Amino acid sequence: MEIVSMRRASVFGYGLCLALGAITTGCMTDGNLDEGGASVSSEISLDPTASYTMVGVQSNRCVGPVGGSTASGVRLEIETCTGMAIQRFRPEAMGSGFFRMRNELSGLCIDVSGASPFLGAPIIQFACGTGTNQQWLVSDVTGGSERLTARHSGQVLDVTGQGTAPGTLLEQWSSNGGANQHFFMNEALPTIVIN
């Protein structure tokens, strides 16, 4: 079993570089964060053979597709945690410290719809590919929680309107330090199959 480690990085500088259009001036090279533009805080390890539930810090609810759907293009929401495979995601290393998050049941990946660079773009599940709108930088924030930043836009996974009710949809938004942008990545117990 190989455990993929990456440095935990503050993505403030990363987002700022993208916002200013400074990618070609040294903020990023080959998809890597330039340490001058981002501070390194600690190491994170994600086991690609394990699955994780993503629990919102503000809501204490799990990320999953609307209605437990396994269909491509369905929005992701926060919902009451059930421990079921539809709320579990497996990290897949995509290089340069980015991960694609594949749903354990549907096999689909967390995706920014249409590779949109805009604030409020919907977060969906979609057929896994190599697009940077499915690649997420997992950064440490307070209390052992994580922030997930989309590689293509520099925006983060966000619970819309700081909602806490089941059914509140996810979107991408500018990082603002809000608890609705922080998630606990809890390693799930292996699935037990009874014949």
> Is there a domain that residue 21 lies in?
no
Q: Return the pLDDT at 43.
A: 47
**Higher model confidence: residue 74 or residue 26?**
74
> Is there a domain that residue 165 lies in?
yes
pLDDT in tens, 68-119: 999 999 999 999 999 999 999 999 999 998 999 999 999 999 999 999 999 9
pLDDT in tens, 47-67: 888 999 999 999 999 999 999
> Is there a domain that residue 23 lies in?
no
> Which residues have a Cβ under 8 Å from the Cβ of 3 and sit 6 or more positions away?
45, 46, 47, 48
Q: Count of domains in the chain?
A: 1
Residue 147, domain CATH: 2.80.10.50
**Higher model confidence: residue 93 or residue 8?**
93
Q: Is the pLDDT of residue 147 over 80?
A: yes
Q: Residue 130: which region, alpha, beta or left (left: phi > 0; alpha: psi -120 to 50)?
A: alpha
> Which residues have a Cβ under 8 Å from the Cβ of 151 and sit 6 or more positions away?
31, 94, 98, 132, 133, 135, 136, 137
Enter the pTM of the model: 0.77
pLDDT in tens, 179-192: 999 999 999 876 66
Q: What is the extent of the structural domain holding 142?
A: 44-187
